[in-house]
Amino acid sequence: MASASLLKSSPVIDKAEFFKGQSLRQPSVSVVRCHPNAPSSLTIRASSYADELVKTAKTVASPGRGILAMDESNATCGKRLASIGLENTEANRQAYRTLLVTAPGLGQYISGAILFEETLYQSTTDGKKMVDVLVEQNIVPGIKVDKGLVPLSGSNDESWCQGLDGLASRTAAYYQQGARFAKWRTVVSIPNGPSALAVKEAAWGLARYAAIAQDNGLVPIVEPEILLDGEHGIDRTFEVAQKVWAEVFFYLAENNVLFEGILLKPSMVTPGAECKERATPEQVADYTLKLLHRRIPPAVPGIMFLSGGQSEVEATLNLNAMNQAPNPWHVSFSYARALQNTCLKTWGGSPENVKAAQDALLIRAKANSLAQLGKYTGEGESDEAKKGMFVKDYRKTQWLDVADLLLFKSRPAINPLSHQGVYNCKEFNKTRRD
């Protein structure tokens, strides 16, 4: 359990203040012009939410805390439940999410929780709103706002992320419901290039989303994930990451995004998952911090790394190595599987295992809290926590989530998977034409 002193020591927003002015506001726009006599003066937008955005970002990026990513779509959540023998029903999803948000003292280690839309509007099994339970734990609610990955026409079998249509009205509604930050995930694949088209599409989409989110009071988490797929070494990952982040920040600036009011969710710089030469935590930290110093302005308050299929222990060790010396930013975590894997398997869908599962979640949350402070040792970790969770072609499993929503609910007999479980793009395209 978190002590009162520990909770009060973090710069969090209390519940009353958190929901102050929660009714929808139309963001005003002020214009600042530099060199007013010059024919091409610089225009900078300033949303009426600017102060709140900065405060929210700093709250999420508070010492010793990070983000619990529990925003799996219903289809992806179904795959997690299937791994423990449960059906993908709303009741089972509700039971699991209730287990997560009600873990006693979770707010000592977790500052924000990313939710799927269903969860944002959902209540716990005891009838309390999930959002209220999080706020009582001093955890800021966030919301996944992208609509998933789909094939990018004209590219080398790459992806783009959809969801900009209607985003302004959706983010405004999410703010009313209690969300204070948002997440948009797009991916870049090294084995497939990445092509200039895919990188530009990823960067532009992230920038438009970030500007729209800020205009409606939500701190945008900017997440261009560089997938682990491939045999490439760490130097190739570093090279690609530099290009991607240069493009991302160029377009963030073009869209007048307030850097002090965003959070970043990058991949760590690691070798490809199939590379024979593995990197030590010290090497990962060295390459990753070098990338951050070259590409990320110090105005950005927090870098919340994704785990990207690393084992629970590997993700924590790498984060710890990056916090052995002071950084210009809050360097922390935004983990899903790397926080939940052991918890989920411990639960197994049995009510009598809830406490043990919550304890497993708190162990991982505390370990990553210590890593954020540079104090994690890795002692006493279970074998389960050391197992890797890399899923090859993970972006294509997201394509299937979208297909499941748009097509396969009405056409259940069509299976776009080959017998090896590898995405069959030709079959999917044929199905769409049909």
Q: What percent of the chain has pLDDT over 70?
A: 76
Is 276 marked active-site? no
Tokens of 108: 């000592």
| Cis ω before 194 (30° cut-off from 0) | yes
User: Which is nearest to 332 in space by CA: 29, 58, 12, 27?
Assistant: 58
Contact 205, 368 (CB under 8 A): no
User: Which is nearest to 218 in space by CA: 269, 183, 267?
Assistant: 183
How many CB atoms lie under 10 A from the CB of residue 87?
10
434 residues of the chain, pLDDT tens digit each? 443 333 333 444 454 454 444 444 444 444 443 444 444 444 445 468 999 999 999 999 999 999 999 999 999 999 999 999 999 999 999 999 999 999 999 999 999 999 999 999 999 999 999 999 999 999 999 999 999 999 999 999 999 999 999 999 999 999 999 999 999 999 999 998 899 999 999 999 999 999 999 999 999 999 999 998 899 999 999 999 999 999 999 999 999 999 999 999 999 999 998 899 999 999 999 999 999 999 999 999 999 999 877 889 999 999 999 999 999 999 999 999 999 999 999 999 999 999 999 999 999 999 999 999 999 988 766 555 545 544 455 444 444 454 444 433 333 333 333 333 333 333 333 333 33
Determine the Cα–Cα distance for residues 53 and 68; give it in Å rounded to an integer: 20
Catalytic residue among 201, 223, 247, 381: 223
Q: What DSSP designation does 385 have? A: G
Is 118 marked active-site? no
CA trace torsion 38, 39, 44, 48 (10° rounding) = 100
CA trace torsion 61, 15, 71, 125 (10° rounding) = 150
pLDDT score for 128: 97
pLDDT score for 309: 77
Q: What DSSP designation does 39 have? A: S
Tokens of 70: 């529990």
Which residues on neighbouring strands pair with residue 66, listed in sequence order?
Answer: 110
Determine the Cα–Cα distance for residues 63 and 326; give it in Å rounded to an integer: 12
Q: What DSSP designation does 90 have? A: H
* CB-count burial class (<10 Å; 0-12, 13-18, 19+) for 236: middle
Measured between its terminal Cα atoms, the distance across the chain in Å is 56
Amino acid identity of residue 391, one-letter, is V
Catalytic residue among 265, 312, 314, 396: 265
Residues in CB range of 393: below 8 A, 6 or more apart:
229, 422, 423
Kind and range of the H or E element at 166? none
**Average per-residue pLDDT for the chain:** 83
User: Which is nearest to 113 in space by CA: 93, 147, 141, 144?
Assistant: 141
Residues in CB range of 55: below 8 A, 6 or more apart:
13
CA angle at residue 265 from 200 to 92, to 5 degrees?
A: 115
pLDDT score for 193: 84
Write down the pTM of the prediction. 0.80
Determine the Cα–Cα distance for residues 222 and 245; give it in Å rounded to an integer: 10
pLDDT score for 378: 82
pLDDT score for 22: 43
Determine the Cα–Cα distance for residues 175 and 172; give it in Å rounded to an integer: 5
